[in-house]
Amino acid sequence: MKRCDILVRDARLRGCAGLNDIAICDGLITAIAPSLALTAERIIEADGRLVTESFANPHLHLCKVWTLTMMEDEARQNYHGATMEKAMAAIEVASRVKERYAESWIVENARRAVALAALYGNLHIRAFADVDGKARLEGLNALLKVRDEFRGIVDVQVVAFPQDGILREPGTRELMREAMIRGADVVGGIPWIEYTDKAAAEHISFCFDLAQEFDKDVSMLLDDAGDPGLRTLETFAIEAAARSWTGRTLAHHCRAMSQYPKPYLHRLIGTLLAADISIVSDPHTGPLHACVQELLAEKVNVCLGQDDISDAYYPYGRNNMLEVVFLASHLLWMMARDEIEQLYDLVTVNAGKAINVPLKLAVGSPAHMVVLSERDVLEAVRFHSEPACVISHGRLVDLRQMRELAGLRSV
Ligand SMILES: Nc1ccnc(=O)[nH]1
pLDDT tens by residue, 278-291: 999 999 987 788 99
Q: How far is the CA of 91 from the centre of ligand 1 (A)?
A: 7
Share of the chain above pLDDT 90, in %: 90
pLDDT of residue 287: 79
321-331 pLDDT per residue, tens: 999 999 999 99
Is 70 exceeded by the pLDDT of residue 178? Answer: yes
pLDDT of residue 73: 59
Q: Around Cβ 1, how many Cβ atoms within 10 Å?
A: 7
State the chain's maximal CA–CA distance in angstroms: 68
Q: What average pLDDT does the chain have?
A: 95
> Which of 65, 68, 79, 91 has the most ligand 1 atoms within 8 A of CB, as the residue to mutate?
91
> Does the CB atom of residue 308 touch ligand 1 within 6 A?
yes
Q: Around Cβ 30, how many Cβ atoms within 10 Å?
A: 19
Q: How far is the CA of 363 from the centre of ligand 1 (A)?
A: 38
pLDDT of residue 118: 98
**Closest approach atom of ligand 1 to CA 307:** 1
201-240 pLDDT per residue, tens: 999 999 999 999 999 999 999 999 999 999 999 999 999 9
Phi, psi dihedral angles at 106 (to 5 degrees): -65, -40
pLDDT of residue 5: 98
* Contact (Cβ atoms closer than 8 angstroms) between residue 164 and residue 174: no
b or e along 165-177 (b: 16 or more beta carbons within 10 Å of the residue's beta carbon)?
Answer: bbbebeebeebbb
pLDDT of residue 89: 78
pLDDT of residue 78: 52
Q: Which domains does the chain have, with CATH numbers?
A: 2-53+360-398 (2.30.40.10), 55-354 (3.20.20.140)
Residue 65 CB contacts under 8 Å (≥ 6 apart), including other chains: 109, 110, 112, 113, 308, 309, 310, 311
* Contact (Cβ atoms closer than 8 angstroms) between residue 325 and residue 120: no
> Does the CB atom of residue 248 touch ligand 1 within 6 A?
no
Mean pLDDT of 82-107: 84
* Contact (Cβ atoms closer than 8 angstroms) between residue 288 and residue 226: yes
| Bond into 287 cis (ω within 30) | yes
Mean pLDDT of 233-250: 97
Is 70 exceeded by the pLDDT of residue 411? Answer: no
Complex-level ipTM: 0.93
pLDDT of residue 85: 75
Q: How far is the CA of 395 from the centre of ligand 1 (A)?
A: 34
Phi-psi region of 250 (alpha: psi -120 to 50; beta: other; left: phi over 0): beta
DSSP structural state of residue 410: P
> Does the CB atom of residue 309 touch ligand 1 within 6 A?
no
Q: How far is the CA of 4 from the centre of ligand 1 (A)?
A: 44
Confidence of residue 171 (pLDDT cuts 50, 70, 90): very high
Q: How far is the CA of 12 from the centre of ligand 1 (A)?
A: 38
Determine the Cα–Cα distance for residues 140 and 95; give it in Å rounded to an integer.
15
Determine the Cα–Cα distance for residues 268 and 279; give it in Å rounded to an integer.
13
